[in-house]
Structure 1
């Protein structure tokens, strides 16, 4: 069984879990994987696992035998003494009254007269006063104005984080910034790499990291905002 992951340890753990976590197994590393200078994986790590399924079933049967509950002998039930019955009470016989004549019964029982039922009226809903629409427009204006262009606070934050990343990569290169509404252009005074393809890949990675730092710090989505990096050639 072949399994791949971003690292060798993760690939071994995934293979062992998919195989049912056997107690005895053999791992063979087919591809150790490769990472770039930023620690991101270019090629995944690939491993293979082999094990004997017959050896895995025997311990499971032993554990089932050990976990089986033991039957205990049942104790004979003790006979409960019969409850003494209390003598039933006899109710006194009530004397029946003589039946009244039919005419007297018809006179006493009078049918009630049906009253007219009034039609039910459905309750009318109460009208709530409508708020003027110009208040909602006034509240939305400052929010839309803030999201039309980069703010100086965001640009300073990006510049500080970029200097820290360059110091980590041991490339202390100066740069300049230019704002064009939702686009921020950062131009380096020197090349970051001799080969153009590697330099473009580095620009893409740095731009992605800076935008992620900006979103987490200011807790905003920054939809439509762009961060572009290039160098003078």
Structure 2
């Protein structure tokens, strides 16, 4: 670390002169020894006095920096060798993968035949489910007795009707209309169906989800 003592009429001029005297260093420190005084008409004036501290070895620091820059610039050249290696590997892969493509269509044909064979028994089971009757004889008998008693209480005469179960539905068809007005008769049959299902649930003690009783008449 070196220092230069400089005097001038002001601190600013002393700093500028001292910096130039020290060969314009990039980094330096200034210590003000005397700020200076100006007298009347220049009499009894005192100059400003400063000290400039600076390092006189800037070149020694620049040399390792330049060496580091050269190393960093030369470093990216090395990956160029590694980038050429994957190209050699990729060229050998297509020759090994080519025979596997020929085998794939043969393997894909076998599951299609199995699926076609399995569909036939499933279709047969669906047809059996459609023809299956879910209403048991005991359930049909409960509905028959309840409707007979309800019609006897309503009209005082026995009314003939037929019952035909079809999966979840139980179709009850009256031999003759109960009312002259068809709209009123439909509302009556809807109420009968609801009450019949309630009586059936109480008798069987089952929820019977999906089961329905449908009433109608031949003349309606």
- Fold shared by both chains (TM-score > 0.5): no
Q: TM-score, normalised by structure 2?
A: 0.38
Which has more radius of gyration?
A: 2
Structure 1 or 2: larger helix share? 2
TM-score (norm 1): 0.36
